[in-house]
């Protein structure tokens, strides 16, 4: 029997890396999509040391064609994707009077649109029990005006997760956003590893009581 597969979209050294390691420790093979080759190579080495088979691709996840092709390669290799984790968002320090429409749409394309692309690409390889997980943020509820686009992205991606879950549920696939209600740090309750643990738990919640949004408050 083939090992389960997690694909991490927006892989890097923070929460996404911790998520990849958390699943690898549970016996998952891992596909990584990110924009920094050096970071991907380093993370892949860490995952291989945990016993995982790892594939990694440098890709701009706002590029629909490249992202679709990369995810389909990962899915085709093992003929399965069990978990798709989506992490990207754009942090642009501009308040609403300085933010342009073009900048807002660019950021939403990354923080929301790329999730749509990723799920559509992964869906043919997902079956009952499959999961879509998303790194959410309290910015969805309490946006900081000096980074106005981030709140729009996080509110939008949470909304999209609700729609994805409703659409996928009849096939036994569920989607969940973990809303991180704190600032990431190297110590304390909001380390990337602690957030990754919350994402793991959200992906394994009881389906009878499934919640499409799970808050993490430390």
Helices within the chain (DSSP H only): 15-24, 37-49, 64-78, 101-108, 114-122, 148-168, 192-203
Please state, in angstroms and rounded to a whole number, the distance separating the CA atoms of residues 132 and 193.
19
208: which residues sit within 8 A by CB, 6+ positions away? none
Q: At 12, is the secondary structure helix, strand, or coil?
A: coil
- Would you state the pLDDT for residue 184? 87
Q: For the structural domain made of 5-216, what CATH number should be given?
A: 3.40.50.720
For residues 216 and 194, give the distance between their C-alpha atoms in angstroms, rounded to a whole number: 9
Tokens at 19, concatenated: 């998520």
Structure tokens of 124? 């043919």
pLDDT of residue 1: 66
pTM beyond 0.85: the answer is yes
All structural domains of the chain with their residue ranges: 5-216
Both tokens assigned to 141: 């509820």
* Intervals of the chain under pLDDT 70: 1
Q: What is the pLDDT of residues 29-85, one digit of tens each?
A: 999 999 999 999 999 999 999 999 999 999 999 999 999 999 999 999 989 999 999
| DSSP one-letter code for 13 | S
pLDDT at position 2, please?
86
């Amino acid at each position: 029997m083939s090992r389960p597969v997690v694909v991490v979209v927006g892989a890097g050294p923070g929460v996404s890396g911790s998520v990849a390691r958390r699943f690898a420790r549970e016996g998952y093979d891992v596909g990584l999509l990110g924009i920094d080759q050096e970071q991907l190579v380093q993370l892949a080495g860490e995952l291989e040391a945990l016993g995982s088979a790892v594939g990694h691709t440098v890709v701009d996840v706002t590029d629909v064609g490249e992202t679709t092709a990369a995810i389909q390669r990962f899915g085709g290799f093992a003929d399965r994707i069990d978990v798709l984790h989506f992490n990207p968002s754009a942090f642009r320090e501009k308040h609403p009077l300085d933010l342009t429409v073009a900048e807002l749409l660019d950021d939403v394309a990354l923080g929301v649109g790329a999730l749509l692309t990723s799920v559509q690409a992964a869906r043919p390889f997902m079956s009952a029990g499959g999961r879509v997980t998303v790194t959410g943020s309290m910015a969805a509820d309490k946006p900081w005006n000096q980074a106005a686009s981030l709140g729009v992205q996080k509110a939008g991606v949470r909304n999209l997760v609700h729609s994805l879950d409703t659409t996928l549920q009849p096939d036994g696939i569920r989607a969940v956003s973990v809303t991180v209600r704190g600032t990431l740090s190297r110590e304390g309750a909001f380390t990337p590893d602690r957030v990754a643990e919350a994402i793991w738990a959200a992906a394994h919640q009881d389906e009878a009581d499934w919640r499409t949004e799970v808050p993490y408050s430390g």
